[in-house]
């Protein structure tokens, strides 16, 4: 199974051109992916998308025949009466068994003057060749380490809760079939990917990968390329947000998936966004 994650900057390349088509083409050039996870997808923001399609979620779905596309809006507002949405997207050609959308905390900071927006984690449990896998994609707070750590803790807690549900045998009653209480596709297998806006030496990274916690998650790069530093995924070609290239786009995997990690790669050449896409290949065994 191949999964690509990418912060698309609303599909805006470093040349200023906004093109969902170019994003999909570049992702396909990286891999014949089964799952595509995108961050910063815009709906009805003409000041961002210009003359390109206003509904990027719909545009991407039209470019991926045979895929089911799920869009999770972190922002869903109507300042002029027209819905404006901004969030994360999962496209899968493998069957999607369940969809969940987790709004992440953004605790108020007294006296803070930085810009702010809500954050979401979009979750699809998909039918991988070996069984259900919970795919989670997110884009954490950029300006506030305080809020970002709270979001990392929430993701950690939600992952632990989901694993506990998978281990807790729920009674299957015939009269719940076809109702909201029907059996759920709980699983220990999980992938958490996206733009985390932190680096590997941060408290937030440690929060998600702490091996002393139950149901620990691991940075897939350190599994596949333990002797190599993370390649940069942000500010590689553009110093608008800082002078040094950093790695802040990760793919974390649950303990149960660690042995399936076959390869992880970063496309360090494309300039179709201000971030670089990351690919993971999981073996079916």
Residue boundaries of the structural domains of the chain: 2-168+182-282
pLDDT of residue 116: 87
Kindly state the average pLDDT of the residues 131-148: 97
Indicate the average pLDDT of the chain.
95
Virtual torsion, Cα 85, 127, 212, 224, nearest 10 deg: -90
pLDDT at residue 26 is higher than 90:
yes
- Given a contact cutoff of 8 angstroms between Cβ atoms, the answer to whether 8 and 38 are in contact is yes
Percent of the chain with pLDDT over 70: 98
pLDDT of residue 172: 63
Cα–Cα distance between 136 and 122 in angstroms, integer?
Answer: 6
Confidence class for position 171, pLDDT limits 50, 70, 90: low
In angstroms, the Cα distances linking 52 to 28, 43, 85, 131 are: 20, 11, 16, 38
The tokens for 28 are 């396909």
Q: Helices in 86-139 by DSSP H: which ranges?
A: none
Cα–Cα distance between 236 and 238 in angstroms, integer?
Answer: 6
- Reported residue count of the chain is 285
Backbone angles phi, psi at 155, to 5 degrees: -65, -40
Can you point out the beta strands (E) in 196-269?
A: 217-219, 249-254, 261-266
pLDDT of residue 183: 86
In three-state secondary structure terms, 150 is helix
Cα–Cα distance between 195 and 138 in angstroms, integer?
Answer: 7
Which among 86, 85, 139, 147 has a CA at the least distance from the CA of 114?
Answer: 147
Half-sphere exposure of 282 (CA within 13 A, CB side): 26
- CATH number attached to the domain at 2-168+182-282: 3.60.10.10
Summarised one tens digit per residue, pLDDT across range 211-264 is 999 999 999 999 999 889 999 999 999 888 888 999 999 999 999 999 999 999
Summarised one tens digit per residue, pLDDT across range 69-98 is 999 999 999 998 999 999 999 999 999 999
């Amino acid at each position: 199974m191949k999964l690509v994650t990418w912060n698309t900057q609303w599909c805006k390349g470093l040349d200023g051109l906004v093109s969902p088509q170019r994003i999909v083409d570049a992702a396909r050039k990286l891999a014949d992916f089964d799952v595509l996870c995108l961050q910063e997808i815009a709906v009805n923001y003409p000041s961002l998308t210009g003359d390109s399609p206003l509904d990027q979620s719909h545009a991407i779905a039209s470019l991926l025949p045979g895929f089911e596309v799920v869009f999770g809006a972190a922002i869903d507002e109507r300042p002029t009466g027209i819905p404006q949405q901004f969030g994360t997207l999962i496209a899968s050609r493998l069957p999607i068994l369940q969809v969940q959308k987790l709004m992440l905390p953004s605790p108020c900071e007294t006296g803070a003057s930085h810009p702010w927006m809500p954050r979401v984690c979009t979750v699809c449990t998909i039918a991988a060749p070996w069984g259900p896998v919970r795919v989670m994609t997110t884009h954490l707070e950029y300006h506030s380490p305080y809020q970002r750590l709270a979001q990392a803790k929430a993701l950690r807690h939600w992952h632990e809760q989901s694993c506990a549900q998978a281990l807790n045998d729920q009674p299957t009653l015939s009269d719940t079939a076809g109702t909201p209480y029907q059996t759920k596709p709980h699983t220990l297998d999980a992938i958490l990917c996206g733009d985390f806006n932190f680096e590997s030496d941060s408290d937030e990274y440690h929060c998600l990968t702490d091996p002393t916690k139950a149901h620990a998650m691991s940075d897939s790069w350190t599994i596949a390329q333990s002797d190599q530093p993370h390649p940069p995924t942000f500010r590689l070609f553009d110093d608008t947000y800082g002078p040094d290239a950093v790695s802040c786009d990760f793919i974390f995997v649950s303990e149960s998936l660690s042995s399936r990690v076959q390869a992880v790669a970063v496309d360090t050449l494309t300039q179709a966004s201000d971030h670089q896409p990351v690919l993971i290949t999981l073996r079916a065994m």
